[in-house]
């Protein structure tokens, strides 16, 4: 297996575990039953990657062609359901850190895979953000609420920054692993800083 494929696979699978647990937590918090929890786990963990693969022409999507994706998502969601009390005991800071890590992993994987399919660098950047945020958007639609990425503090912007770093580094000739690490650090750092300092993008107050 090529090194670049190893980077995508490792980041994708690690992000799948993190986001599946997050999806399960969201479903449990919304009062869904076991079936609903598993559906949300799969959607959050796999949704962004499926959207990315369909858009760049990677068919069938990795979530369908590689059993490890749905298996990890299912197992992680089930773990979060069975051991919900323990997962719920995680501190908010730990959950935020895990979420930021998952976002960084998916943003990196999305950008790297898009470049692998030789799409335009601008599109590859967008695919990084889509991979990181797509599953969460579908989750919020299923839960009948405004997607968090549209209203919360800097989130999608962090994914975009990570993807920009990946694409820029690759254009400059950096090895895939170096580009992935730098992009992941950039995304993670911006997301954590935004939470820590309450950074938000400008917006107009309703009714103004």
Digitized pLDDT (tens) for each residue of the chain, 208 residues in all: 466 777 778 888 888 999 999 999 989 989 999 999 999 999 999 999 999 999 999 989 989 999 999 999 999 999 999 998 888 788 888 888 989 999 999 999 999 999 999 999 999 999 999 999 999 899 999 998 888 888 767 899 999 999 999 999 999 999 888 999 999 999 999 999 999 998 888 877 766 5
| pLDDT confidence of residue 171 | 93
Domain spans of the chain? 3-197
| pLDDT confidence of residue 159 | 95
CA 89/CA 36 separation, integer angstroms? 22
CA 13/CA 48 separation, integer angstroms? 13
Three-state DSSP at 203 gives coil
| pLDDT confidence of residue 201 | 83
CA 110/CA 53 separation, integer angstroms? 9
CA 11/CA 133 separation, integer angstroms? 15
| pLDDT confidence of residue 1 | 47
| pLDDT confidence of residue 203 | 79
| pLDDT confidence of residue 2 | 64
| pLDDT confidence of residue 207 | 64
Q: CA 12 → CA 30, 48, 71, 134, 198, distances in Å? A: 26, 10, 13, 14, 28
| pLDDT confidence of residue 202 | 82
Torsion of CA 37, 43, 44, 49, to 10 degrees: 160
Q: How many CB atoms lie within 10 A of CB 130?
A: 27
3-class DSSP string for 68-107: HHHHHHHHHHHHHHHCHHHHHCCCHHHHHHHHHHHHHHHH
């Amino acid at each position: 297996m090529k090194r670049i494929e190893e980077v995508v696979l490792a980041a994708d699978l690690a992000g799948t575990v993190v986001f599946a647990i997050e999806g399960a937590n969201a479903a449990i918090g919304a009062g869904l039953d076991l079936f609903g929890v598993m559906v949300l786990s799969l959607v959050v963990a796999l949704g962004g990657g499926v959207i990315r693969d369909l858009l760049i022409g990677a068919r069938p999507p990795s979530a369908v062609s590689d059993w490890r994706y749905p298996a990890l998502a299912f197992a992680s969601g089930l773990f979060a359901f069975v051991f919900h009390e323990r997962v719920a005991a995680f501190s908010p800071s730990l959950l935020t850190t895990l979420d930021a890590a998952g976002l960084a992993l998916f943003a990196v994987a999305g950008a790297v895979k898009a470049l692998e399919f030789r799409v335009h660098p601008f599109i590859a950047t967008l695919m990084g953000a889509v991979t990181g945020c797509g599953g969460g958007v579908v989750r919020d639609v299923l839960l009948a609420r405004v997607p968090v990425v549209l209203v919360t503090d800097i989130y999608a912007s962090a994914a975009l920054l990570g993807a920009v770093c990946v694409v820029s580094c690759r254009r400059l000739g950096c090895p895939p692993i170096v580009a992935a690490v730098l992009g992941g650090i950039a995304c993670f750092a911006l997301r954590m800083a935004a939470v820590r300092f309450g950074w938000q993008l400008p917006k107009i107050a309703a009714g103004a």
